[in-house]
């Protein structure tokens, strides 16, 4: 009768080393952490503010997403709907949403906190920003346009309401699948990233002159009785 092989010290050491490597290895889909410095370095310059009508762009996206033309090109061959955006300082980031909704998942709030922290750095205060939503080319094109707008709005709302960024400094627009981040791969996850773009130089607020406290009005003397 054969006796079971006794593990040698060498085999035990190899197994322990493999276990240690497996425990310390990052998950396959892990992202490198977004840093405040990365965001500031990419957004803190704007040579010239573009002429952007955000309301008109939203309408244009919706109208193009409703196109039913037989000659409509596939997603990979559609021209970008707002080429001017590609020339602006931008920061791309993965934000996790609940499936097919604009609900930001809790694990993305730390990333949004770093973005907010970057936006209030002294070098960033002179600028206004645009939150741009995208959706990969899956499902109905019109629904993708609407979802991307709702997600861009949701990011803006979190930055304003949770992290107290001035609403005057933030706008939002959803481009759906009308300006894919990777047109060669229309259904790739990269096309769901959120972009933060520097789009405006904020008007400087004039300092309010300090007002001396008004002196209390002298009390009226009671009228003499006659």
How many whole angstroms separate alpha carbon 45 and alpha carbon 213? Answer: 41
Q: Which domains does the chain have, with CATH numbers?
A: 36-66+77-201 (3.30.1330.60)
Whole-number pLDDT of residue 69: 86
Can you give the pTM of this predicted structure? Answer: 0.77
pLDDT for 41-92, tens place per residue?
Answer: 999 999 899 999 999 999 999 999 998 888 889 999 999 999 999 999 999 9
Phi-psi region of 17 (alpha: psi -120 to 50; beta: other; left: phi over 0): alpha
Joined tokens for residue 50: 């573009």
Whole-number pLDDT of residue 38: 94
Q: Which has the higher per-residue pLDDT, 202 or 190?
A: 190
How many whole angstroms separate alpha carbon 121 and alpha carbon 107? Answer: 24
Whole-number pLDDT of residue 32: 60
Q: Which has the higher per-residue pLDDT, 208 or 169?
A: 169
Joined tokens for residue 206: 């004039």
pLDDT for 125-143, tens place per residue?
Answer: 999 999 999 999 999 999 9
């Amino acid at each position: 009768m054969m006796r079971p092989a006794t593990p040698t010290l060498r085999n035990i050491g190899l197994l322990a080393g493999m276990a240690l490597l497996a425990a310390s290895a990052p998950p396959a889909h892990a992202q490198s952490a977004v840093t405040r410095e990365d965001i500031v370095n990419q957004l803190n310059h704007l040579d010239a503010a573009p002429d952007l009508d955000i309301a008109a762009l939203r309408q244009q996206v919706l109208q193009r997403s409703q196109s039913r033309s037989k000659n409509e090109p596939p997603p990979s061959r559609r021209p970008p709907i707002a080429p001017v955006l590609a020339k602006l300082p931008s920061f791309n980031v993965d934000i996790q949403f609940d499936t097919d909704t604009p609900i930001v998942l809790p694990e993305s709030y730390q990333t949004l906190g770093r973005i907010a922290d970057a936006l209030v750095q002294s070098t960033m205060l002179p600028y206004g920003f645009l939150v741009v939503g995208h959706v990969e080319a899956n499902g109905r094109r019109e629904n993708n346009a609407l979802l991307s707008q709702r997600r861009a709005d949701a990011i803006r709302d979190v930055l304003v309401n949770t992290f107290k960024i001035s609403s005057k400094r933030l706008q939002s627009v959803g481009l759906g699948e009308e300006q894919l981040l990777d047109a060669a791969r229309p259904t790739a996850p990269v096309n769901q990233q959120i972009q933060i773009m520097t789009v405006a130089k904020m008007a400087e607020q004039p300092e309010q002159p300090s007002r001396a406290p008004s002196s209390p009005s002298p009390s009226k003397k009671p009228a003499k009785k006659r």
